[in-house]
Amino acid sequence: MAEVVLDVRSITKTFGGLKAVNDLSFVVREGEIVSLIGPNGSGKTTTFNLITGLYEPDSGDVLLKDESIAGLKPGQIYERGISRTFQMLRLFSNMSILDNVLVGMHGRTRANVIDCMLHTPRMRREEAESVARAKEILGLFPGRFPASRHSQPALSLSYANRRRLEIARALAGEPALLLLDEPVAGMNPAESLEVMRQIRDLRDMGYTILMIEHDMNVIMGASDRVIAMDHGEKIAEGAPQEVANDPAVVEAYLGKRGADTAS
Amino acid sequence: MSFEHVFSLTVSGVTVGMIYALIALGYTMVYGVLQLINFAHGEVFTVGGYIAASTLIWIGVDASTPLWVKLGYFALALVVSVVVTATLGWLIERVAYRPLRGRSRIIPLLSAIGVSIFLQNLLIVIFGPEPIIMPTAIVPAGFVNVFGARVRILQIIVIAVSLLLMALLTWIVKGTRIGKAMRATSQDREAAEMMGIETNRTISFTFVIGSALAAIGGFIVAMYYGSLQFDTGFLYGLKAFTAAVLGGIGNIPGAVVGSLILGLAENWGVGLTLGLLAWLFVVGLALGLYIQMVHAPRRRIDHIADEFRTPEYEGRLKAVYRLAPVVAVKTLLSERTDALVHVSARHAVQLMAGNLVLFAFAVVFFMNGDVQFSSKWQHVISFAVLMAILMFRPSGILGENIQEKV
Ligand SMILES: Nc1ncnc2c1ncn2[C@@H]1O[C@H](COP(=O)(O)OP(=O)(O)OP(=O)(O)O)[C@@H](O)[C@H]1O
Ligand SMILES: [Mg+2]
| Ligand 1: nearest atom to the Cα of A43 | 18
Q: Which whole number is the average pLDDT over A66-79?
A: 91
Chain A interface disruption, residue of B177, B198, B208, most A CBs within 10 A: B177
Q: How far does the centroid of ligand 2 lie from the alpha carbon of residue A38, in Å?
A: 9
pLDDT in tens, B176-208: 888 999 999 999 999 999 888 989 999 999 999
pLDDT at A114: 67
Q: Which whole number is the average pLDDT over B345-364?
A: 87
| Ligand 1: nearest atom to the Cα of A46 | 18
pLDDT at A262: 46
Please give the angle made by the CA atoms of B14, B170 and B387, to the nearest 5 degrees: 50
| Protein residues within 5 Å, CB atom, of ion ligand 2 | A 45, 87
Q: Which whole number is the average pLDDT over B331-346?
A: 76
pLDDT at B303: 74
Nearest to B39 by CA among B128, B93, B125, B116: B116
Tell me which chain B residue has its CA closest to the CA of residue A172.
B195
Question: Distance (Å, rounded) from C-alpha A38 to C-alpha A142?
Answer: 32
Report chain B residues touching chain A, CB-CB < 8 A.
172, 176-181, 183-184, 187-188, 190-198, 205, 302-303, 305-307, 401, 404-406
DSSP lists the bridge partners of residue A225 as A34
Confidence of residue B370 (pLDDT cuts 50, 70, 90): confident
Q: Are B216 and B22 in contact (CB under 8 A)?
A: yes
Nearest to B111 by CA among B94, B129, B88, B87: B94
pLDDT at A109: 65
Question: How high is the mean pLDDT of chain B?
Answer: 88
* Ligand 1 neighbour A43 (Cβ under 6 A): yes
pLDDT at A107: 67
Question: Distance (Å, rounded) from C-alpha B357 to C-alpha B363?
Answer: 10
pLDDT in tens, A146-190: 988 898 889 888 888 999 999 999 999 999 999 999 999 888 989
Which residues of chain A neighbour B209 with C-beta distances below 8 Å?
A: none
pLDDT in tens, B57-102: 999 888 888 888 989 999 999 999 999 999 999 999 999 999 998 8
SS (H, E, C) A108-156: HCCCCHHHHHHCCHHHHHHHHHHHHHHHHHHCCCCCCCCHHHCCCEHHH
What percentage of residues in chain A have a pLDDT greater than 90? 63
pLDDT in tens, B141-179: 889 888 888 899 999 999 999 999 999 999 889 888 889
Q: Which whole number is the average pLDDT over B290-295?
A: 88
Cβ-defined contact of B177 to A116 (cutoff 8 Å): yes
Q: Are A111 and B177 in contact (CB under 8 A)?
A: yes
* Ligand 1 neighbour A20 (Cβ under 6 A): yes
* Nearest CB partner across the interface for A106, out of B181, B190, B404: B181
Nearest to B175 by CA among A171, A117, A170: A117
Q: State yes or no: pLDDT of B405 exceeds 80.
A: no
Q: How far does the centroid of ligand 1 lie from the alpha carbon of residue A182, in Å?
A: 14
Nearest to B141 by CA among B152, B150, B125: B152
Domains of chain A: 4-81+175-262 (3.40.50.300), 95-166 (no CATH)
The distance of A90 to chain B (nearest Cα, Å) reads 6
Chain A interface disruption, residue of B171, B300, B307, B406, most A CBs within 10 A: B406
Q: Are B138 and B56 in contact (CB under 8 A)?
A: yes
pLDDT at A175: 93
Question: Distance (Å, rounded) from C-alpha B187 to C-alpha B173?
Answer: 13
Q: State yes or no: pLDDT of A205 exceeds 70.
A: yes
Q: Are B389 and B243 in contact (CB under 8 A)?
A: no
Confidence of residue A113 (pLDDT cuts 50, 70, 90): low
pLDDT in tens, B15-66: 999 999 999 999 999 998 888 899 999 999 999 999 999 999 999 888 888 8
Q: How far is CA A213 from the centre of its chain?
A: 11
pLDDT at B154: 93
pLDDT at B175: 82
In words, the CATH class of domain B3-264 is mainly alpha
Q: First-to-last CA distance in chain A? A: 46
CB-based burial label for A2 (10 Å; 0-12, 13-18, 19+)? exposed
Q: Which whole number is the average pLDDT over A1-11?
A: 90
How many CB atoms lie under 10 A from the CB of residue B275? Answer: 16
Distances in whole angstroms, Cα of residue A146 to Cα of each of A150, A216, B34: 7, 31, 34
What percentage of residues in chain B have a pLDDT greater than 70? 97
Q: At what angle do helices A121-138 and A159-171 cross, to 10 degrees?
A: 130
Q: Which ligand number lies closest to the CA of residue A41? A: 1
CB-based burial label for A113 (10 Å; 0-12, 13-18, 19+)? middle
Q: State yes or no: pLDDT of B348 exceeds 50.
A: yes
Confidence of residue B406 (pLDDT cuts 50, 70, 90): very low
